[in-house]
Amino acid sequence: MAGNDGENWIYSETVKKHFFDPQNILKVKPEEYNADGVGYVGSPACGDMMKMWIKVDKLTDTIEECKWQTFGCASAIASTSILSVMVTEKGGMDLDRAMDITPQEITERLNGLPDRKIHCSVLGDKALRAAINDYFKNSKQEDRIKKEKAKIICKCVDVTDHEIEDAVLEGKQTWEDVQKKTKCGTGCGACRPRVESLIKQYKLQYFGDK
């Protein structure tokens, strides 16, 4: 399969399996599912949106059930399917460990994703963290809530490090592409060294040495 830019998108057999037979999709109405925590994230830029529901074993502090629904591509569906398996297998994953799941771990369990589709694996882990944080809020454990505060990198147009990270994950891996996507540096341009440093950091973090 090839993308619009001509790049070959080779999907592993694991990706195909979880796309054609996704696990743990919520098949009842959300209001009929008694979840302990609910998380929602969306990426309007690529059209993918994700909602996740979790049930928690209060005695073991582990994820008992993980259900989800998405409006997204094959990679988003497969990534979230395998993630829902990862956090519920072997008796359920500890909540603190689940909060630290990375896109790389999800991608590895899928035996890889095309570079341009790696951002899809971020939807699932972000939705999971949001659901766990919602559980912490609902269970009066606010001290366990983890949220990363965005930092403004381009003060002229208020572009944050999170927006730059999302742009890189969507395949914008040069200063010109990130600027076009986020509008950073269109004012005084003083942010360019910091933006280029972040691009390099996120490329290494998500794509290795490519």
Side-chain-side CA neighbours of 84 within 13 Å: the count stands at: 26
Q: Given the residues 120, 154, 184, 191, select the one marked as catalytic.
A: 120
Q: Which residues face 63 on adjacent strands?
A: 56
- Domain region containing 156: 152-207
In a domain, 4, yes or no: no
pLDDT > 90: percent of the chain:
56
Q: How confident is the model at residue 5 (pLDDT cuts 50, 70, 90)?
A: very low
* Selected catalytic residue, list 46, 66, 154, 191: 46
Same domain, 28 and 111: yes
Is the model's pLDDT at 87 over the cut of 50?
A: yes
Whether 124 and 168 share a structural domain: no
- Does the active-site annotation cover 120? yes
pLDDT band at 4; cut points 50, 70, 90: very low
Q: 67 and 167 share a domain?
A: no
Q: Flag whether the pTM goes above 0.75.
A: no
Task: Based on the residue annotation, tell me whether 73 is a catalytic residue of this protein.
Answer: no
Q: Please report the pLDDT score of residue 44 as a whole number.
A: 52
* CB-CB neighbours of 157 under 10 Å: 13
Question: Does any domain span residue 7?
Answer: no
Q: What's the number of domains the chain is made of?
A: 2
CB atoms within 10 A of CB 113: 24
Residue 83 gets the label, from left (phi > 0), alpha (psi -120 to 50) or beta, of alpha
